[in-house]
Chains A and B, each alone.
Chain A
């Protein structure tokens, strides 16, 4: 189980005053659970992921997974962040766990890329791929080690709807196959409802969890399906103040106040 406890996380402000990004944030993710974190922009969602991913270790608080800091992770960023000088396959194999059987890892990488419908471009350079294809490579890279924990920072943002939906399906397939715990950050509530077992809502900065909601809809789910839509509408009625900023599609920092 992943346990996140962040008492305080600050950034130095331009004026020298510290800007408190996260404060008193508690969040637990069960083994194999898919948790989405939603919140207005600037509420510290990415900061949270960077902390859990070990990219930012300057904070008051602690993150543990089964008693230690999580090391066995996959990380998908907002941008694909592929190495442009490496082929698609090499990009995936770059992060393959050191000391493993190289031939088997290669086989696995190829199988994974084929599952992402990238079998024809294994040797192509990323600059030749479309945005959606690059995300699929990044998704394959995140799963190559079958990590215990997968961190995803708005990975499907700025994609057209069909492409994003296809990527979500692929993510759901891979997640169900490998059983990783997932912490998925997004500002799109429908996306969160389509993916998550649980959705946690962060307040505006300093961010903390203000609502922890189980989503017990049957899978597979389509963000545009009636079931998701009913859930979404019901949520709006029940928590209008909290979700105001998210639901209108306009991100406002004052949404939770």
Chain B
């Protein structure tokens, strides 16, 4: 019965997707079921799992089609809007796609993208490392927490623009100032999330480590840290999305290469096609990182939660 019903639902969806394919977005790597319900994949790693009933597989396939359909609908909407709007204000999807191809062939897009991604990676790693260490320390020691709490509130509420301008003024218009500005914006939110995790660490499990005389290193790596993984992953997720956004502003304000800089150039020339082309390319990279790095990593690390 379930099979029949899902086939009926899928048929129109498939048609919509096929219709959207020529627009160029239907095959986006992000649409291809990367958002499959995490629970089902996880269960296959556990020895005792029960094989999932056929109904679940069908509904998962349906979800995948729905996601593709939603992407198709978006492109379709864009196409329709572009037909009514002035082509300079809103170019249609195909024009933007062609521009992405041009910019890729000329190596301009990959170059700027690589520079921006490099900054993102360094800022992200620094923010996660420093934020996690401070978060653990503040979750562990109350006096430290009390001392730094006001700083944290301040750090959470300073506008990103202020830290960016100050970093450039104080440290010069260079890459380190840019990365520092991004990291400073991100660190407080990492601290808050990881501190929450450190407070939630189960002292009973730490007692097991003490009773069995585990070394400090083993206790930290194998008993303490695994309990923080969900919090670290949450911080990484939200961290990446925040850093993507801030890096572009940093580049726009004070660097002479990178996606943010290039967007500014396009802005000066009122080149909407260029802006959309870079934005889409950038968004695609973000989604790929999310789907191919963060989500598999999370699944691996939290596979025991069923």
Tell me the A residues contacting B by CB distance below 8 Å: 53-55, 71, 73-75, 77, 79, 81, 83-86, 94-95, 98, 121, 123-125, 127-128, 141, 151
Q: A81-B205, A127-B305 are in contact. List 13 more A-B contacts (CB 8 A).
A: A54-B211, A54-B213, A71-B213, A77-B207, A83-B226, A84-B304, A85-B226, A85-B301, A86-B304, A94-B212, A94-B214, A121-B47, A128-B46
Chain B residues, CB < 8 A from A79: 204
Q: Is the interface of A mostly helix, strand, loop or mixed?
A: loop
Number of A-B residue pairs, CB cutoff 8 Å, is 67
A78–chain B nearest beta-carbon distance, Å = 10
Q: List 28 A-B contacts (CB under 8 A).
A: A54-B213, A73-B211, A73-B212, A73-B213, A74-B212, A77-B208, A81-B204, A81-B208, A83-B208, A83-B222, A83-B223, A85-B229, A85-B304, A86-B304, A94-B212, A94-B214, A94-B223, A95-B214, A98-B214, A124-B46, A124-B48, A125-B46, A125-B304, A125-B306, A127-B306, A128-B46, A128-B48, A141-B212
B48–chain A nearest beta-carbon distance, Å = 5
Is A75 a contact of B212 with CB atoms below 8 Å? yes
- Residues in B209-232 with C-beta less than 8 Å from chain A: 210-215, 218, 222-223, 226, 229
Closest B residue to A71 by CB, please name it.
Answer: B213
Measured in the bound complex, the distance between the Cα atoms of B215 and A196 in whole Å is: 33
B243–chain A nearest beta-carbon distance, Å = 28
Chain A residues, CB < 8 A from B210: 54-55
Closest A residue to B306 by CB, please name it.
Answer: A127
0/1 per residue, B90-115, Cβ < 8 Å to A? 00000000000000000000000000
B35–chain A nearest beta-carbon distance, Å = 24
Chain A residues, CB < 8 A from B47: 121, 123-124, 128
Chain B residues, CB < 8 A from A123: 47
Chain B residues, CB < 8 A from A95: 208, 212, 214
Is A121 a contact of B207 with CB atoms below 8 Å? no
- Residues in B269-306 with C-beta less than 8 Å from chain A: 301-302, 304-306
Measured in the bound complex, the distance between the Cα atoms of B43 and A124 in whole Å is: 11
Is B211 a contact of A55 with CB atoms below 8 Å? yes
A155–chain B nearest beta-carbon distance, Å = 13
Is A53 a contact of B48 with CB atoms below 8 Å? no
Measured in the bound complex, the distance between the Cα atoms of B71 and A4 in whole Å is: 71
Is B204 a contact of A98 with CB atoms below 8 Å? no
Tell which of B48, B205, B211, B215 touches A83, judged by Cβ atoms closer than 8 Å: B205
Measured in the bound complex, the distance between the Cα atoms of B103 and A94 in whole Å is: 53
Measured in the bound complex, the distance between the Cα atoms of B214 and A38 in whole Å is: 29
Tell which of B208, B218, B304 touches A98, judged by Cβ atoms closer than 8 Å: B218
Tell me the B residues contacting A by CB distance below 8 Å: 46-48, 204-205, 207-208, 210-215, 218, 222-223, 226, 229, 301-302, 304-306
Chain A residues, CB < 8 A from B218: 94, 98
Measured in the bound complex, the distance between the Cα atoms of B298 and A102 in whole Å is: 28
* Pairs A-B, 5 closest by C-beta atoms: A75-B211, A95-B212, A125-B304, A85-B226, A85-B304
Measured in the bound complex, the distance between the Cα atoms of B270 and A244 in whole Å is: 91
Is A121 a contact of B48 with CB atoms below 8 Å? yes
Chain A residues, CB < 8 A from B304: 84-86, 125, 127
Is A75 a contact of B215 with CB atoms below 8 Å? no
Chain A residues, CB < 8 A from B226: 83, 85-86
Chain A residues, CB < 8 A from B305: 84, 127
A99–chain B nearest beta-carbon distance, Å = 10
Chain B residues, CB < 8 A from A54: 210-211, 213
Is B204 a contact of A94 with CB atoms below 8 Å? no
Measured in the bound complex, the distance between the Cα atoms of B304 and A75 in whole Å is: 24
Residue among B211, B214, B229 having the largest count of chain A Cβ atoms under 10 Å: B211
Closest B residue to A98 by CB, please name it.
Answer: B215
* A81-B204, A127-B304 known; A94-B211 Cβ under 8 A: no
A52–chain B nearest beta-carbon distance, Å = 10
Is B222 a contact of A94 with CB atoms below 8 Å? yes
Residue among A54, A121, A125, A151 having the largest count of chain B Cβ atoms under 10 Å: A125
Measured in the bound complex, the distance between the Cα atoms of B203 and A79 in whole Å is: 13
Closest A residue to B223 by CB, please name it.
Answer: A83
Chain B residues, CB < 8 A from A86: 222, 226, 304
A73–chain B nearest beta-carbon distance, Å = 7
Residue among B48, B214, B304 having the largest count of chain A Cβ atoms under 10 Å: B304
Chain A residues, CB < 8 A from B222: 83, 86, 94
Is B212 a contact of A55 with CB atoms below 8 Å? no
A106–chain B nearest beta-carbon distance, Å = 16
Is A128 a contact of B211 with CB atoms below 8 Å? no
Tell which of A53, A128, A151 touches B306, judged by Cβ atoms closer than 8 Å: A128
B22–chain A nearest beta-carbon distance, Å = 47
A35–chain B nearest beta-carbon distance, Å = 18
Measured in the bound complex, the distance between the Cα atoms of B213 and A75 in whole Å is: 11
Measured in the bound complex, the distance between the Cα atoms of B306 and A75 in whole Å is: 28
Measured in the bound complex, the distance between the Cα atoms of B204 and A76 in whole Å is: 12
Closest B residue to A122 by CB, please name it.
Answer: B47
Chain B residues, CB < 8 A from A141: 212
Measured in the bound complex, the distance between the Cα atoms of B210 and A73 in whole Å is: 11
Chain A residues, CB < 8 A from B223: 83, 94
